[in-house]
Amino acid sequence: MKYYKTGYTTGAFDLFHIGHLNILQRAKERCEHLIVGVSTDELIREYKHHTPIIPFEERIEIVRALRCVDEVVPQETMDKLAAWQKLRFDAMFHGDDWKNSDLYNRYIEQFRQVGVDVVFLPHTAGISSAQLSDILRKLK
C-alpha cells in the first residue's frame, strides 16, 4: 500500500454519517496530511440541484473537528485539477462507487499527467446522504 505526503478528498458532507467518517479515516491512513474540500451550498445547488439540509458553515466545522482531517478548504468548483494547482496534493481519494465512471476515468488521465494518483477507497454500503435527505424531505 502506497503512502502519500499530501492527500485530498472532497464531499458535500450533508447529513454527515458513518460512510463519510470511514472514507476520511481510510484516506488519512494513506497520507501524512489530509486536505478535505467541503462543497459550498452554491456548488451543491449547481450539481445536485437542491439546497443542502445542513448549511456550508456548519458542514465545514463538522469536518474540521475530525481528528483524521488536517486541513479543510471550501470546494467551490468540481474542477479537481484547479484544486491541485492550488493545493499540490499527490493523491486524490474517493469512494470506489465512482471507480470506472466516465468522470473519474477523466480525472485519472488528467492527474496521471501531473503525477497524482487517484486512489479509490471502499464505499460504505447501505448508507448515503441522498437516502437520508430523501427521508427528511418526505417527512416535511
Whether the pLDDT of residue 128 is over 80: the answer is: no
d(CA 51, CA 30): 32
Amino acid 135: pLDDT: 58
Amino acid 132: pLDDT: 60
The model's pLDDT over 65-122, given as tens digits with 9 standing for 90+, comes to 999 999 999 999 999 999 999 999 999 999 998 899 999 999 999 999 999 999 999 9
d(CA 138, CA 125): 22
Amino acid 125: pLDDT: 79
d(CA 47, CA 49): 6
Domains of the chain: residue spans and CATH: 4-139 (3.40.50.620)
Residue 43 cell numbers, joined = 456548488
Residue 131 cell numbers, joined = 437516502
The model's pLDDT over 16-25, given as tens digits with 9 standing for 90+, comes to 999 999 999 9
